[in-house]
Amino acid sequence: MFMIALIPALIIGGVAAYIYWHSVKAPQVPLPGFGQLPVAPAPPPGEEPPRTFLQSVKAEFSTLGSVFSGSKVPAAVEQWRPLAEKYAQINSILDPEEILAIIWTESTGNKNGINPNDPSYGLMGVTMLIGRAYAGVTSSDQLYDPDTNVKAGSGFLAFLKTNYEDNYPLSNPAIAWVDAYNEGEPNLKRGRQDADYANKFIAHLAALKS
């Protein structure tokens, strides 16, 4: 157990040492007197001063955090924000980011995406049942149209949030209202859910709102 607990400290120490020796540092001037710390010369006009060691560590760990958390919103998802904003105004219970979080989770912004297991189609992974109910589609081909797809998907998402958010809040990802978008209402009520779906949605939502 001691060795396991020691691993994070070793990793942090190693990264800090690497940054110290490899970050860009200002040249040190000779010590002007005993016991006096070296002073870095001022940068040339128009140039930013070099980062301190602590600033370098902070920047490096910020970058590492972004990489490992996967928090950067893909451009393929962000491009649909105007459409998400349009249908968030129509379905006022929704935030645009909630619509985009479903798009990110279901298709990563691919308007031609398909899940053959459902089957579901397009940006928000809409089934024909939901497409008929919320957008009046008569063919799965219509669900590849982004506007039609988001109209249907956001309509269903708004219905679920309206009816289940109070009893199945996102604060409990093990059985959250958004799970019904993936697994269906009957499974939500039975408690048979895949928490991984809600966790992805919550992580994507946080990234979109950051």
User: Mind listing the pLDDT tens digit for each residue in 53-99?
Assistant: 444 333 333 333 333 345 699 999 999 999 999 999 999 999 999 99
Architecture category of domain 75-209 in CATH: Orthogonal Bundle (1.10)
Does residue 44 register a pLDDT over 70? no
pLDDT, mean over the chain: 77
Q: Euclidean distance between the first and final Cα of the chain, in Å? A: 36
pTM of the model: 0.67
**Confidence at residue 195, expressed as pLDDT on a 0 to 100 scale:** 80
The DSSP call for residue 180 is H
pLDDT tens for each residue of 125-157: 999 999 999 999 999 999 999 999 999 999 999
Average pLDDT over residues 190-202: 87
pLDDT tens for each residue of 151-178: 999 999 999 999 999 999 999 888 899 9
pLDDT band at 23; cut points 50, 70, 90: very low
Question: What is the phi/psi pair of residue 114, to 5°?
Answer: -150, 140
**Confidence at residue 191, expressed as pLDDT on a 0 to 100 scale:** 83
pLDDT band at 194; cut points 50, 70, 90: confident
**Confidence at residue 58, expressed as pLDDT on a 0 to 100 scale:** 39
Domain boundaries, the chain: 2-26+38-69, 75-209
C-alpha dist (Å) from residue 59 to 40, 43, 54, 66, 112: 21, 20, 9, 11, 38
Q: Are 134 and 156 in contact (CB under 8 A)?
A: yes
Does residue 179 register a pLDDT over 60? yes
The DSSP call for residue 117 is T
pLDDT tens for each residue of 112-125: 999 999 999 999 99
Three-class secondary structure of residue 179 per DSSP? helix
Kind plus residue range of the DSSP H or E element containing 120: strand 120-121
**Confidence at residue 36, expressed as pLDDT on a 0 to 100 scale:** 42
